[in-house]
């Protein structure tokens, strides 16, 4: 085997090894992100009652047990809000009933309100009811 043939084989092996490392890193990053998302979801035992305008809303609303489409929409809206660079989804509560999404909580400014409404619509909401408040940060 000549030097050039051997050099070509080494280069091919290096390319394969490099590609494997890159793919392994991407797969590992995907698992880390998926694990973080799973850890962010509350367990049923951690469900707490929340009060909005004097009404108690359980984190385990029985409506969602009967209507899987609303539960899926709620998860999709939360996903879109979490991925949005314009919205801090930590302070937004999402409630869905019959495809109508209600957003409650506080956001930084009016553009974040508009982005949250747009995200809910993109996730598949029939209608979005906005109960978001703005808190300008200094």
| pLDDT value of residue 1 | 60
pLDDT at 8: 67
Q: Residue 78: which residues within 8 A CB-CB, separation 6 or more? A: 89, 94
Q: Can you give the residue range of the structural domain that contains 13?
A: 1-40
Considering the domain architecture, whether residues 32 and 55 belong to the same structural domain is answered as no
Identify the burial level of 98 via C-beta atoms within 10 angstroms of its C-beta, where 0-12 means exposed, 13-18 middle and 19 or more buried. exposed
- Predicted confidence at residue 68, as pLDDT, reads 83
Regions of the chain short of the pLDDT cut 70: 1-3, 6-32, 34-65, 137-138
For residue 67, the model assigns a pLDDT of 81
Indicate if 70 and 128 belong to the same structural domain. yes
109: how many CB neighbours lie within 10 A of its CB? 13
Of residues 71, 105, 70, the one with CA closest to residue 89: 105
Predicted pLDDT at 49: 47
Count of domains in the chain? 2
Task: Please check whether residue 99 lies inside any domain of the structure.
Answer: yes
| C-beta separation of 104 from 52 below 8 A | yes
- The pLDDT value recorded for residue 81 is 94
| Same-domain status, 76 and 25 | no
């Amino acid at each position: 085997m000549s030097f050039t043939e051997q050099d070509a084989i080494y280069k091919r092996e290096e390319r394969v090894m490099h590609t494997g490392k890159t793919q392994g890193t991407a797969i590992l990053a995907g698992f880390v992100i998926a694990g973080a998302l799973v850890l962010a979801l509350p367990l049923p035992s951690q469900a707490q009652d929340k009060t909005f305008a004097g009404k108690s809303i359980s984190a385990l609303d029985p409506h969602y047990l009967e209507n899987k489409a609303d539960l899926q929409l709620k998860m999709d809206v939360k996903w879109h809000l979490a991925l949005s660079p314009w919205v801090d989804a930590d302070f937004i509560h999402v409630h869905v009933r019959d495809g109508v999404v209600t957003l409650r909580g506080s956001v930084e400014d009016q553009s974040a309100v508009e982005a949250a409404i747009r995200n809910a619509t993109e996730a598949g909401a029939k209608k979005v009811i906005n109960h978001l408040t703005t808190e300008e940060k200094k």
